[in-house]
Chain A
Amino acid sequence: MASVELLRLSNVSKTYEPVTGENVEAIRGISLSLADGEVLALLGPSGCGKSTLLRLIAGVEIPTSGNIERASGAGNKQFVVGYVFQDSSLMRWRTVRDNIRIPLEILGKNDDKRVTEMIRLVGLTGFERAYPIELSGGMQRRVAVARALIHEPSVLLMDEPFTGVDEMTKETLQGELNHLIRRLHVTGALVTHDIEEAVYIASRVLVMSSRPGTIIEEVRVPLPDERQPIMRIEEPFISCCRVIREKLNLLQAVK
């Protein structure tokens, strides 16, 4: 059975018009699609418009040209996204529990059981009443992931979710995220400039050029959906990373 397409971007461009200075063309002519249960990684250099693309998908910004079609997906009445940001962006005035609950509040839902279950899933049981300031960086990222998944979003948007975390914690968090994504059957779009992160989490990697961002290459990840840490040192993972690195190096050379 063909999987349902949740998102389709057709020839999408975005140009910012600053109050002073010249217009900035962030992305140009992006076309992509995202199927139910698929995790897509957008990989490219800093400033290539990856985060802009996520904001366009989320609907918080409007494309200058092109078209974005969104479908709600199974179980959802409307298309709704979950958002994980680079620096967690937690509400420092809310406890762990209240931070995770915020999407439900906005959507007018009340499901305390699900909040408790989500806290358990991300391994924060016992920290429900803690404030973000009392948590380690890794724990804050777990809260951000739980907040993004609590309302069963149509698409999970991850904007460099583990930037600034030490390598060991990053690998642990990547493993946990991959496990959650597969377990909850999440459809996601991951923005990153970390090749290994893209390959470890995504099923498909789109390599973007520097600004204005365009998609220059698509690489399918030849790994099973459920990833294991051991895979990082196995041939398919390493060769996939190498292919992507070569594309990026070529891009640098052309530049």
Chain B
Amino acid sequence: MLWQFTSAVGLVPRYLIPPPTEIVKELFNPSVDWPKQILATTATIILGFAFGTLGGVALAFLVTLSRLLRKILLPYLVGIEALPKIAIAPVLYILLGFSDLARIVLVVLLTFFPVVIATSTGLVDVDQNLLYLLRSLGASETKIFYKIRLPNSLPHMFDGLRLAVISAVAGAVIAEFISSSAGLGYLIINAQNFFDTSLAFAAFTVLSILSLALYGSVELAAYIIMPWFRKK
């Protein structure tokens, strides 16, 4: 209400912060192909997130099962996680061309590390007594993995997925800022070039809804997969 009022009476210039009614109007502007833009960004997010998280989970399994791999890879993984990976985006475009692939790879880079580190922590950081219990019964390491390590890792894994999905949205938009011909990031950067703040705010609104929906999907998956955790 306050936002609408201050914009309507001209306390804040409309070209800087448009009133909500104008933003809503922009969402129904037939000259903007919203489904196409949403689909482009969503595809980049989903593909990058899927490859990044699947790769992250797979590598976490490997470093848990192999002590040698863990010794070799884990210090590098933690080191790379600390790097500002967004900064590598321009280099990715040089290496892979101004393509969908470059955008997806950037999202993969942003989602992979939180998942691999969180999941491997959950796989390794298990109650020592449970290991004693199963080993005293003669359980193989494979059985221990499925009966203890994997379920124990789920809350950690979902922590990684929550971080990853937020990073995936940010990564896709930044990749579209740098170079793209469609997507919500493309719309925002174009709107900036033409001082079309209504369009920029409308794209931001859609992006926020998309981000919340994806985050909500991860939360829903955690709720379904870990009934024992939600009872906390």
Which residues of A come within 8 Å of B, CB atoms? 55, 58-60, 80-81, 83, 85-87, 89, 91-95, 102-103, 105-107, 131-134, 151
Contact = CB atoms under 8 A, between A and B. Distances in A.
B139 A89 contact: no
Interface of B: 127, 129-139, 143, 147-148, 151-152, 154, 226-229, 231-232
Interface SS of chain B: helix
26 contacts: A58-B135, A58-B136, A59-B136, A60-B132, A60-B135, A80-B138, A83-B132, A85-B129, A85-B132, A89-B130, A91-B130, A91-B147, A92-B228, A92-B229, A93-B151, A93-B152, A93-B226, A93-B229, A94-B228, A103-B133, A105-B147, A106-B137, A106-B138, A132-B228, A133-B228, A134-B231
Considering the complex of A and B, which 8 residue pairs feature the smallest CB-CB distances, nearest first?
A: A89-B129, A58-B136, A93-B151, A85-B129, A106-B137, A131-B228, A60-B135, A106-B139
Nearest to A59: B136
Contacts of A60: 131-132, 135-136
Given A89-B127, A106-B139, A133-B232, A83 B151 contact: no
Contacts of A106: 134, 137-139, 143, 147
A102 B147 contact: yes
Contacts of A58: 132, 135-136
Contacts of B129: 83, 85-87, 89
Contacts of A55: 132
Contacts of A81: 136
Contacts of B130: 89, 91
A105 to B, nearest CB: 7
A105 B228 CA distance: 20
Contacts of A83: 129, 132-133, 136
A134 B148 CA distance: 20
A87 to B, nearest CB: 7
Nearest to B130: A89
A59 B151 CA distance: 25
Contacts of B138: 80, 106-107
A105 B137 CA distance: 10
Contacts of A131: 227-228, 231
B68 to A, nearest CB: 16
A142 B151 CA distance: 23
Contacts of B136: 58-60, 80-81, 83
Contacts of A151: 137
Nearest to B135: A60
A62 B206 CA distance: 61
B172 to A, nearest CB: 33
A95 B228 CA distance: 8
Contacts of B227: 131
Contacts of B152: 93
A102 B137 CA distance: 10
A76 B92 CA distance: 63
A105 B138 CA distance: 11
B154 A93 contact: yes
B122 to A, nearest CB: 12
A103 B228 contact: no
Nearest to A61: B132
B15 to A, nearest CB: 54
Counting chain A CB atoms within 10 Å of each CB, which of B131, B132, B139, B232 scores highest?
B132
Nearest to B140: A106
A131 B138 CA distance: 26
Nearest to A83: B133
B221 to A, nearest CB: 15
A93 B228 contact: yes
A54 to B, nearest CB: 9
A15 B231 CA distance: 42
